[in-house]
């Protein structure tokens, strides 16, 4: 489809779980002329690009899936990454949305054409797509972060970022350095520790790691879930509730501070049981409160540091030379391979992930930076008609599971698009007033949360933006879901 052809119903940017879910929702609402534009060569988002050893979901799998398509066959409570990718493939095929996908298609910008009431979406290579509706489903983790460390470009050995894993590279017998101790590193370090000759972990900020109650789901139970889906619904209710219980003290910190603190004790206990060396334990102990950073789960992480071949460097990297890393304390470590578990650039290149220009030339990224990060219900923005930013905008993220977002945003879309059709309207746009009042409510409720009241100063958490702002939605996933049934449709104008 090019600029001189009939507009598509919708363009969805990103073929991860949010993109797949919104395509299914749009089809259900009667829109079938859809293009899903995906930069990568396959669908699945982070579950396509991440292939590092140890990759697994860090929430119970029954909670980490679409409620309309439960998977009875998860092999473990915390399914490995490969199974999640297979699940994404299965859903895309079963609901027949793969045919909308165009891979290796990198969207660069989108501009609203107020005369023709369409979005003009430009992709690398010069092609322009035209559509009535624009949905960005680019996720929070789409732009890998490459650290700026003096000398890194002169390193002569192998460099691997965890989002571009080289499956052909054999770590056995190698001298490995790994930078980062976030959720990815927590999964990867125990795996690399099994094969590396020597491994040094460069930690800038320690992380709280709580025990992971993982287990294989027996075949008989999987069969039961398949034959009697209600049994799996009960199981999901339990895992949803468990995730909510972990999340709740963070948003009701004023009332549940004790509970939040007690979770940190689990991490302390795990460290104490795994590590006898007091100095090592001290270095691995965060000073900030549990919950300032995304919680991480592992039974192996702390134990890995007690292995003979694993070393912790908490001094900080001064520079990298062609064959070694020099620390600020003067120690030098020769290495063969440098693994960057340095995560993603969340704030700079993610809000939004592409250039989006609305009515009167309003540039979304610039407007957010000048006026504060804001959305209506985590999705809609005034002056951006027929646009929804899914699972990647300010106040979109509710709870710990990405699927919490996908679920409530689908429900929001259902009411919004049904109303649009009912009125036989061509466009929708959220009002300035509704958006401002939603943002004001979010900011007010934020003041009750751990991120505002807790001790997060030393956490270096991506939950905080460059000016200390936080845009996690301070409501329970169930409350957010319920709100999608009641938000006033008059918050939007239809024309």
CB of 364 to ligand NAP, least distance (A): 23
Q: Which residues pair with 210 in a beta bridge?
A: 297
Nearer to ligand NAP, 110 or 149 (CB): 149
List of residues 6+ apart from 153 with CB closer than 8 A: none
Nearer to ligand NAP, 100 or 344 (CB): 344
Residues making contact with ligand NAP (CB under 6 A): 56-58, 141, 145, 147, 149, 179-185, 187, 204-205, 294, 341-344, 460, 462
Nearer to ligand NAP, 145 or 160 (CB): 145
Nearer to ligand NAP, 37 or 267 (CB): 267
Q: Which residues of 476-493 are buried (b: 16+ CB within 10 A; e: fewer)?
A: bbeebbeebeebeeebbe
CB of 204 to ligand NAP, least distance (A): 3
By CB neighbour count within 10 A (0-12 exposed, 13-18 middle, 19+ buried), where does 261 fall? Answer: middle
CB of 340 to ligand NAP, least distance (A): 8
As given in the structure block, the two tokens for residue 438 are 């939603």
Nearer to ligand NAP, 46 or 110 (CB): 46
Q: What is the DSSP letter of 391?
A: S
Nearer to ligand NAP, 50 or 122 (CB): 50
CB of 443 to ligand NAP, least distance (A): 23
Residue 145 phi/psi, 5-degree rounding, is -100, 120
Closest CA to 474 of 407, 384, 398, 376: 398
CB of 447 to ligand NAP, least distance (A): 24
SS3 content of the chain, % helix, strand, coil (to 5): 35, 20, 45
Residue 32's Cα: distance from chain center in Å? Answer: 28
Q: What is the DSSP letter of 39?
A: S
Inter-residue contact 481 to 411 (CB < 8 Å): yes
CB of 328 to ligand NAP, least distance (A): 12
CB of 400 to ligand NAP, least distance (A): 8
CB of 349 to ligand NAP, least distance (A): 14
Nearer to ligand NAP, 187 or 386 (CB): 187
List of residues 6+ apart from 158 with CB closer than 8 A: 166, 169, 336, 337, 338
Nearer to ligand NAP, 184 or 270 (CB): 184
By CB neighbour count within 10 A (0-12 exposed, 13-18 middle, 19+ buried), where does 176 fall? Answer: buried
């Amino acid at each position: 489809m090019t600029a001189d052809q009939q507009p598509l119903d919708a363009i969805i940017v990103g073929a991860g779980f949010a993109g797949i879910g919104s395509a299914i929702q749009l089809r259900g609402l009667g829109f079938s002329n859809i293009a899903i534009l995906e930069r990568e060569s396959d669908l699945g988002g982070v579950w396509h690009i991440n292939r590092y050893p140890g990759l697994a979901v860090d929430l119970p799998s029954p909670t980490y899936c679409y409620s309309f398509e439960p998977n009875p066959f998860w092999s473990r409570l915390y399914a490995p990454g490969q199974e999640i990718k297979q699940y994404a493939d299965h859903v895309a095929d079963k609901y027949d949305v793969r045919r909308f996908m165009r891979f290796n298609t990198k969207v660069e910008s989108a501009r609203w054409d107020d005369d023709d009431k369409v979005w003009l979406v430009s992709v690398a290579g010069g092609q322009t797509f035209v559509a009535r509706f624009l949905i960005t489903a680019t996720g929070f983790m789409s732009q890998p972060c490459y650290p700026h460390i003096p000398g890194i470009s002169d390193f002569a050995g192998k460099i691997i970022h965890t989002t571009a894993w080289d499956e052909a590279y054999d770590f056995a017998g190698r001298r490995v350095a790994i930078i980062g101790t976030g959720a990815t590193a927590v999964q990867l370090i125990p795996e690399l520790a099994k094969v590396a000759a020597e491994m040094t972990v460069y930690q800038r900020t320690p992380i709280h790691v709580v025990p992971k109650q993982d287990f294989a789901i027996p075949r008989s139970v999987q069969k039961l879930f398949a034959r009697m889906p209600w049994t799996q619904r009960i199981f999901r209710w339990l895992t949803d509730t468990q995730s909510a219980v972990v999340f709740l003290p963070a948003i009701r910190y004023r009332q549940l501070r004790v509970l939040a603190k007690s979770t940190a004790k689990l991490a302390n206990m795990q460290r104490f049981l795994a590590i006898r060396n007091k100095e090592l334990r001290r270095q691995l102990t965060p000073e900030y409160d549990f919950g300032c950073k995304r919680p991480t789960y592992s039974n192996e992480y702390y134990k890995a540091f007690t292995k003979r071949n694993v070393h912790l460097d908490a001094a900080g990297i001064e520079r990298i030379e062609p064959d070694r890393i020099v620390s600020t304390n003067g120690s030098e470590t020769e290495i063969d391979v440098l693994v960057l578990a340095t995560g993603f650039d969340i704030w700079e290149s993610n809000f939004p992930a592409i250039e989006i220009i609305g009515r009167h030339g309003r540039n979304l990224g610039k407007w957010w930076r000048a006026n504060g990060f804001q959305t209506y219900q985590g999705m809609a923005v005034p002056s951006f008609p027929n646009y929804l930013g899914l699972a990647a905008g300010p106040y979109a993220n509710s709870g710990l599971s990405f699927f919490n977002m996908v679920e409530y945003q689908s429900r929001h879309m259902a009411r919004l698009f049904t109303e649009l059709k009912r009125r036989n309207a061509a466009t929708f746009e959220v009002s300035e007033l509704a958006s401002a009042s939603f943002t004001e409510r979010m900011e007010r409720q934020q003041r009750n949360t751990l991120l505002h009241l807790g001790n997060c100063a030393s956490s270096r958490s991506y939950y905080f933006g460059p000016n200390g702002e936080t845009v996690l939605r301070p409501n329970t996933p169930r409350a957010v879901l319920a709100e999608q049934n009641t938000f006033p449709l008059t918050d939007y104008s239809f024309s």
